[in-house]
């Protein structure tokens, strides 16, 4: 595979598994993006041992930092971005709804806008939303993201300002 791949949330359970699976295809480069230092270190060590011939770069960054993510997309010029960075534990997000919105909605908007601005050919959003019987905006968040993604990919291909 001659593609450069970037994975956000690469140190999380889903992001790290995704990174391992991508490495099996031998990308030209994999960029692992994570906001937790230990998780980033751990996935980097695992991939280095399992896939020593795969070129990789680790980037400690938070998807909530719009300018950092834009700069990263422009400097890395990935062919595909797998966006797995999100807060996924329903009870934790219910207790911290602002953090959930900042990471899951604002962070996703930042990644999508940066992909558009840097002319990244493909972005894949990894969603693990679960049905929740509790009364929160979990499903509304997913619906909001779906509407925004339709706007980015179908209508204008321009970032939302």
Distance CA 8, CA 32 (A): 7
Is 71 in a helix, a strand, or coil? helix
Instruction: State whether residue 88 is helix, strand or coil.
Output: coil
CA distance 82 to 14: 11
Which residues are paired to 123 by β-bridges? 81
Give the orientation angle of helix 37-50 with respect to helix 13-23, to 10 degrees: 20
Q: Which of 4, 88, 122, 130 is catalytic?
A: 130
* 130 given a catalytic annotation: yes
Tell me how far apart the alpha carbons of residues 30 and 100 are, in angstroms, rounded to a whole number: 27
> Containing H/E element for 15?
helix 13-23
Catalytic residues: 130
């Amino acid at each position: 595979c001659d593609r450069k791949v970037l994975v956000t949330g690469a140190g999380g359970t889903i992001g790290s598994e995704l990174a391992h699976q991508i490495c099996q295809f031998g990308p030209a480069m994999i960029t692992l993006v994570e906001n937790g230092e230990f998780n980033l270190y751990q996935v980097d060590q695992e991939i280095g041992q399992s896939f020593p011939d795969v070129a990789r770069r680790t980037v400690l960054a938070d998807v909530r930092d719009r300018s950092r993510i834009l700069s990263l997309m422009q400097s890395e010029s990935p062919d595909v971005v797998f966006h797995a960075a999100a807060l996924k534990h329903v009870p934790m997000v219910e207790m911290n709804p602002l953090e959930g919105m900042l990471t899951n909605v604002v962070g996703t908007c930042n990644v999508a806008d940066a992909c558009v601005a840097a002319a990244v050919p493909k972005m894949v959003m990894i969603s693990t939303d679960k049905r929740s019987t509790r009364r929160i905006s979990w499903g509304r968040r997913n619906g909001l993201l779906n509407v925004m993604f339709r706007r980015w990919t179908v209508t204008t291909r321009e970032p939302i300002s």
